[in-house]
Structure 1
Amino acid sequence: MTGATVENADEARRLRYWRRIAEAHEPGAYQALDDAYRQPHRAYHSWAHIDELLTGLERFDSLATRPDLIAAAIFWHDAVHLARDPDGKTRLDRQNVRDSVAAFRRHTILAGSEAQAVEDLVMATSDHAGARATTEHYTGFSGDLDLFVDLDLSPLAAPWEIFAANTQKIRSESIGVEEAEFAANQAKMLEGLAQGDRPVFRRAETRAAWDAIARVNLARCIAGLRAAGR
């Protein structure tokens, strides 16, 4: 497929999933997301990332108990993404995630356990390796959380050329961060995902599809980052 054809297919998928959850949001919610994901500084955390996760959800939809809530989490999990606070200090990923949750809360009409489930899914992206379901908001929620985390990590299993390009895109978003600092922080984060023999992905089906190539990519990238950070 040509680039334009792929882009059209991605947008069609995105709008198809949005239509499934549009009634769970206030008017103007999609426009708020569109404004966010088209911000000029976004190289990796853009609509392309959301589209990639929706492609994965479409592939593994049958594993989800509430694919609608997973889709909502996909749309909102990077709604806010800034490298630095207004005072110039490096912004922690966890704060971006919290602010993304706040954006979701402003625009959703979901309430109770459904809204809390989406919030917990989004918050899981602040600690991919350690995130666990502490409350079973509905039967199957813990499995949905595992699937959502796997989807957010699925770019780790991209072909190496794409993986390397994604790393450079993430680097370009780290405005004002020195190369050595970025390399050290990124290597530490990736090492947390590649600990020992522990699988990178949680669900058996996603593990079978993605784990082997992700491990090769992680080892190669970590070695390069450590060399760059010296």
Structure 2
Amino acid sequence: MRQTRLVVDLLDRWRVAALGAGARPDAESTRAGEQLLTRWREPHRHYHTVAHLTAVLDVVDQHAELADRVDVVRLAAWWHDAVYDPRAAGDANERDSAALADSVLTGLGVPAPTVAEVRRLVLLTAGHEVAPGDTDGALLCDADLAVLATSPAAYERYAAAVRREYAHVPEPAFRAGRAAVLTGLLTLPALFRLPPLASRWEVPARDNVRRELAALTEPTAGPADLR
């Protein structure tokens, strides 16, 4: 793997989280981080990339005081999109990511209860439904959805990157599927659960999602309209 500054910095962050969660301080742990980064840099990814990973980790770090076990949340951030196949159905990517985390972290010596908690957190990112009082789950899911609250221009870049990941899907099917995802988000009681984040992000996020949903559900131009 080419050791760019970003990669070096991310590997440092991986080691801190892994050691903090109980992994052995050996070369195997570093190799696991390198293998994870290889996954995050797969060529079919356009949004679910190291940039997304970095953004999620940044939110977690900036609000570390809100977590019960911040290193566990950091590890869950690393694993939550470790497996990402746009052709997979339902929550298969999250389930496969959680299973991979279970296998690798166990091999690194992370205690079984911690591995189980990482797995649980990763699975939460499938639907972003968090139980009251689940502070660590709330922080991970809020960080994962932070892109929804970016500026309209940044949000449009995010939506365009998601569309590129699903380039194999015909436009009508993509519009229907994406609209279903966005509708599901809007039906959540709140997109963001932690008060410091919700107070800043809830309104702009819902505005962005509603705007994209409206664009997706607009009738497409027919031949007679193309002039």
The TM-score with structure 1 as length reference comes to 0.83
The alignment covers a number of residue pairs equal to: 208
Q: Which of 101, 105, 110 is residue 102 of structure 2 equivalent to?
A: 105
Q: Which moved more, 1:145-154 or 1:109-118?
A: 109-118
State the alpha-carbon separation in 1 of the partners of residues 215 and 35 from structure 2.
37
Tell me whether 1:183 sits opposite 2:179 in the alignment. no
Summarize deviations over 1:89-136 as a string: whole Å, max 9, x none: xx22411111111221222132322111100000001111x3438xxx
Q: Which of 187, 194, 198 is residue 195 of structure 1 equivalent to?
A: 187
Summarize deviations over 1:53-73 as a string: whole Å, max 9, x none: 111112211101111000000
State the alpha-carbon separation in 2 of the partners of residues 187 and 168 from structure 1.
14
State the alpha-carbon separation in 2 of the partners of residues 114 and 229 from structure 1.
49
Q: Which of 159, 163, 168 is residue 155 of structure 2 equivalent to?
A: 163
Counterpart in the other structure of 1:88: none
State the alpha-carbon separation in 2 of the partners of residues 223 and 13 from structure 1.
39
Q: Which of 193, 197, 218 is residue 227 of structure 1 equivalent to?
A: 218
Counterpart in the other structure of 1:132: 131
Counterpart in the other structure of 2:195: 204
State the alpha-carbon separation in 2 of the partners of residues 181 and 212 from structure 1.
28
State the alpha-carbon separation in 1 of the partners of residues 66 and 40 from structure 2.
27
Distance apart, 1:150 and its partner CA: 0.8
| SS across alignment from 1:199 | coil
> Where does 1:46-125 land on structure 2 (aligned, <5 Å)?
46-84=49-87, 91-108=88-105, 109-125=109-125
Distance apart, 1:157 and its partner CA: 0.5
8 A Cα contact 2:18 2:75, kept in partner: no
8 A Cα contact 1:41 1:173, kept in partner: yes
The TM-score with structure 2 as length reference comes to 0.84
Stretches of 4+ aligned residues off by more than 4 angstroms: 10-13
Distance apart, 1:175 and its partner CA: 4.0
| SS across alignment from 1:126 | coil
Distance apart, 1:201 and its partner CA: 0.7
State the alpha-carbon separation in 2 of the partners of residues 229 and 64 from structure 1.
45
Counterpart in the other structure of 1:216: 207
State the alpha-carbon separation in 2 of the partners of residues 18 and 188 from structure 1.
34
Structure with max Cα Rg: 2
State the alpha-carbon separation in 2 of the partners of residues 61 and 228 from structure 1.
44
| SS across alignment from 1:194 | helix
State the alpha-carbon separation in 2 of the partners of residues 51 and 12 from structure 1.
12
Letter in 2 for 1:65: D
In structure 2, relative to structure 1, the CA distance for the partners of 1:114 and 1:217 (3 Å cut) is same
Counterpart in the other structure of 2:224: none
8 A Cα contact 1:181 1:229, kept in partner: no
State the alpha-carbon separation in 2 of the partners of residues 22 and 41 from structure 1.
27
Counterpart in the other structure of 1:34: 37
8 A Cα contact 2:15 2:33, kept in partner: no
Counterpart in the other structure of 2:13: 17
Give identity over the alignment, percent: 31
Letter in 1 for 2:160: Q
Letter in 2 for 1:122: V
Summarize deviations over 1:207-226 as a string: whole Å, max 9, x none: 01211110110111110111
Q: Which runs of 5+ in 2 are unaligned?
A: 222-227
Q: Which moved more, 1:220-229 or 1:148-157?
A: 220-229
